[in-house]
Amino acid sequence: MLNWIKGEGSDHPLADGKRVREMLAELPSDPFKALDELRGWLQAFDGIQELSPARKLAVVDAVDQAARAPLARLTSEYLASGGQLQRVQEARISTAIGNHSRQLAAAYLLLLGRHQAGSPGRGGIRDNVPIVIARALRATAMRLKWQLLRYAPIEPDIWQILGRLWHYAEDHSIEDARLSVYPGLDSTPRREFLKPIMLAISSADSLHATKLELAEKLIAHFASQCLVQRQPGKGCHFLFDLDAGRAPVRLVARIQMTLGIRFFGPGNSVQAINALAAAVQIDGAVPASTGLDGPQDPQTVIEVLRHLVRYWSPQSPERSGERRQSLSQIDVVHGFDEIVAKLEGNDQNLEFGAAAETWNVENESEGGFGVVLPQSKGDWLRVGTLLGVKLSDEPTWGVGIVRRLSGRDDSQRYVGIQLLARGATGVRLRPASGSGETQIGVLLPSSASDSLGQGELNLLLREGTFSPQGSLEMLVYDRTYLLMPRRLIEEGSDFDVARFRVQQHAA
C-alpha cells in the first residue's frame, strides 16, 4: 500500500493528507455520486502546480482505493440482474464505471509521463513506478471489460495504452517485479498486461455477462502460466503489436516483423484448465484456490473453462457449417411469449405487442444467420436472447438464440444467431401425473432424428418448467405422447430447452 505523504506547505486541500481523508469520509453513499466526485478529483489534480509528484500519487492512490467499494456495488448490481436491468440503468452503470476507469488510467499515465520527462520531484515516486504501471494496466483492463460487457466497439486507445505500458515495463526491466498492487492483491506487471489481452482473444462476444465476468476471473487465476515474448513458440500463438493501436489477433501466417510485435498465449495453462474442469466435474464444487468470489455454479464454471480451452487452442475453432454471403431478410421477435404467440397466430392479443423487426442478413449457413444492425436497433439484445426467426418471404417461424454480439463501430453491431429449429410447432403439455395445469411448449424438430418416430425430441419450455423427475404428456397433431425427461440442454432468462424420450403414444 502506498504511504501517505504529509502536508507540503500549500493551502490547496489536496496538499493536506488529513483534509483529503476528511473529504473521502464525506463522499456520498450513492455509488454514482461518489464516483462522479472522485473523478472530479482526478480531472483536477494534474493542473495543480504546487503538488509534488509524490503528493499527486498519494491523491490518486486515495481516490483509487476509495472508488473500489462503489465500483463493486455497481458491478454486483449489473451482474446480479441477469441482463434484466432497464437499458437506461445498464448504460448508466457502464458509463459511470467506464468514465472512472478511463480517468483513473489517465491519472496514472500522467504520473508516469512526468516521471519519464524528468519532472522536479520525480524521485519521490521512483520506487512506486511498478505499482503505477500495474494499476494503469488494471484500470485499462476494466475499461476493456465493460466495453465487452456492453457488446460495444473497443476504443482503439485501449490498445495504445496497453502497448505503451508494456513498452515501459520492458524498457525498465520491471515486467516481473513482484508487488502488492492493492492490499491483499499481489501481482506483476506481466500478469496485469496478459489478463486483458488474453480476455481479448477469448471470444468474449459470445459470452453472457455473468460468464464473461467469470472468464475474466479465471484468466486472472491462470495468468501466471501465460506467456508474452518477442518470438512465437509453443503455447504462444497470438500476437499483439504494441505500436499499432489494434486488437490482438491469432497468428495464422507469416508476418512482417516489427519492433512492436509481441507473441503471447496460454503457455502451459491449458493443462491446468483441463485439470480444474475435471476436478469440478468430479467433486461438484469449485476449489477455493481459484479465488472466485462467493459460491459458483460448477456447471457454469466448467462451461467457461471449456470455452477458454477452445479459443486458446493453436488452431481456430472450426465452424459448424460453411457461411455464405446473403442478401435475404429475416423477421425477428424475442422472448418465449412472443414466439408462442407467433406460432399460434394470436400475437395481436399480447399487451406488450409482438411486432416483428426485419433485419438484413449478411451471411447464413445451415446453422444460423449473421446480421448487422444499427446500434439503435434491437437494444434488448443480449448473448443468450431467445428469438423467433423466419425468412421474410416464408411463412414458417423457427427458433434461434443469440450466440455472438459485438460492436463494429459507433453505428453498427454484429449479431450471430444459432438456429435451434428452422420450423417449430406449438404444443400443449401437462404433468403425466394428471395433477397440474396445462402449459404451452414448442416442439423443435432440429433434425430428422428428432422426429416423433425416432424416440426422442427437443422442447422449448417456459423457464423453470423442466424437471429431471417430471414426465409430461404432450398433445400435438391430435395425438397424446408420454415424454420422459432426459436432460436440460440450455436455460435462459425466460426459457428452458430440454430433451425427452417418447415413451409411448396413443391415438
Q: What distance lies between CA 87 and its chain's CA centroid? A: 17
CA-based Rg of the chain, rounded to a whole angstrom?
A: 26
Residue 49: pLDDT band with limits 50, 70, 90: low
The answer to whether residue 452 scores a pLDDT higher than 60 is: no
CA distance 200 to 6: 41
Handedness of CA 496, 151, 387, 92 (dihedral sign): positive
* 480: enclosing H helix or E strand: strand 479-491
pLDDT for position 295: 79
Superfamily the domain 324-421 falls into: predicted glycosyltransferase like domains (2.40.10.220)
pLDDT for position 319: 67
CA distance 473 to 437: 11
Q: Are 277 and 271 in contact (CB under 8 A)?
A: no
* 502: enclosing H helix or E strand: strand 495-506
Structure confidence by residue, pLDDT tens digits, 167-210: 999 999 999 999 999 999 999 999 999 999 999 999 999 999 99
More confident residue, 436 or 338: 338
**Reduced to 3 states, what is the DSSP secondary structure of residue 362?**
strand
State the Cα angle at 225 between 223 and 228, rounded to 5°: 80
What number is the average pLDDT over the span 240-255?
Answer: 92
Burial (CB count <10 Å: 0-12, 13-18, 19+), residue 302:
middle
CA distance 270 to 202: 13
CA distance 468 to 181: 47
Cα distances (angstroms) measured from residue 199 to each of 157, 203, 356: 17, 8, 35
Q: Residues 6 or more apart from 420 whose CB is under 8 A from it?
A: 398, 399, 400, 401, 444, 446, 458, 460, 497
Q: Residues 6 or more apart from 276 whose CB is under 8 A from it?
A: 287, 290, 305
Mean model confidence pLDDT for the chain:
88
Structure confidence by residue, pLDDT tens digits, 7-44: 444 556 666 677 888 888 899 999 999 999 999 888 87
More confident residue, 425 or 4: 425
CA distance 395 to 329: 13
pLDDT for position 74: 95
Q: Are 212 and 148 in contact (CB under 8 A)?
A: yes
Q: Residues 6 or more apart from 167 whose CB is under 8 A from it?
A: 242, 260
pLDDT for position 353: 44
Residue 495: pLDDT band with limits 50, 70, 90: very high
What number is the average pLDDT over the span 387-391?
Answer: 93
Sorted by where each begins, the domain ranges of the chain are 1-187, 201-318, 324-421, 425-506
Amino acid at 217: K
Report percent pLDDT > 90 for the chain: 61
Q: Give the cell for residue 342.
A: 407467433
What number is the average pLDDT over the span 412-428?
Answer: 92
CA distance 229 to 294: 35
Q: Give the cell for residue 121.
A: 520531484
